[in-house]
Amino acid sequence: MSTTFQLDTATSRAHPTPAPMKRLTVPAIRQRKVDGQTAQPIVMLTAYTARQAQLLDAHCDLLLVGDSLGQVIYGLPSSVPVTLDMMAAHGAAVVRGSYHAVVIVDMPFGAYEASPVQAFEAAARLLKETGCAGVKLEGGAAMAETVAFLTARGIPVMGHVGLTPQAVNQLGGYNARGRSQAEADKIVADARALADAGAFAIVVEGVVEPIAVAVTEAVACPVIGIGGSARCDGQVLVSEDMLGLFERVPRFVKRYAELGEAIEEAVATYAQDVRARRFPGIEQTYQPK
């Protein structure tokens, strides 16, 4: 029996209670794809806080503590400035707030590229400090040695090919990848290299749809699309994007709610009540007995 943190306003907002559910595992996710087919597509969303994890956990197979928190949480221009400290803090919060989904934490830029040994030290720290099940890193064939090094030492790795946000300075922006035949071939080759090195799953991001399909068909492990294809083995989105918390979102995002508008309306009403002295009312104040 694991522990989750659920809302309990009688005590605290993060009161630990036992959860009668076993957490999914990396092998269980890997085994979803059998003979190149995934009967039940994998559901993954990003999460950065304990409360967000509580709300998403029951509906997701994977929760990704993405380095997209740089833009979403910290207002940074890209994921490049994100630090290992940030990832460790938010990863631990998401693990505390979940009990069902497999939690994967992004390796931030600069924490793994220099050598497999550097990558192991960073990944080991994330597993120790967060309790997560594995890490995700960007890059294709160039990172295959590192993926093999980590997996051989007990650290599950999720790969990431196609549009790799940490390489935004080299790519020159966030445009879709794979429009040239050479680039398309490289993306597929990169995915094969990661799968052969032992990646348990691979994210393919921001590629023209035929490339996402080709990657899915080329590797034995599950392929999770974001701006890819419905024919991928699963899908991931940044939660704040699909919930409508930002005005502008990428083309590949479907907005399932408009929470940004709802929050603005609620805050506007609160402000009006405060200025008109309608809040707090008798229900929100303590009266003499």
Please indicate if the annotation marks 106 as binding a ligand: yes
Q: Respond yes or no: is residue 121 known to be catalytic.
A: no
Cβ–Cβ < 8 Å for 33, 220: yes
Instruction: Report the candidate in 61, 65, 35 with the shortest Cα–Cα distance to residue 47.
Output: 65
CA separation for the pair 135, 158 (Å, rounded)? 6
d(CA 248, CA 115): 37
Six-digit token pair at 46? Answer: 């990003």
**Coil, strand, or helix at residue 40?**
coil
Residues in Cβ contact with 182 at an 8 Å cutoff, skipping those fewer than 6 apart: none
**Does residue 35 have a known ligand-binding role?**
no
Is residue 254 marked as binding?
no
In single-letter form, the type of residue at position 262 comes to A
Q: How far apart are CA 194 and CA 217, in angstroms?
A: 14
Task: Catalytic residue, from 129, 145, 205, 209: name it.
Answer: 205
Can you read off the two tokens belonging to residue 76?
């940074």
Residue 138 marked in a binding site? yes
Find residue 135's DSSP bridge partners. 105, 157
Q: Does the annotation flag 68 for ligand binding?
A: yes
Contact 65, 47 (CB under 8 A): yes
Q: Which residues are annotated as a binding site?
A: 67-68, 106, 136, 138
Q: Which residues are annotated as a binding site for Mg(2+)?
A: 67, 106, 138
Catalytic positions are: 205
Q: Which residues are annotated as a binding site for 3-methyl-2-oxobutanoate?
A: 67-68, 106, 136
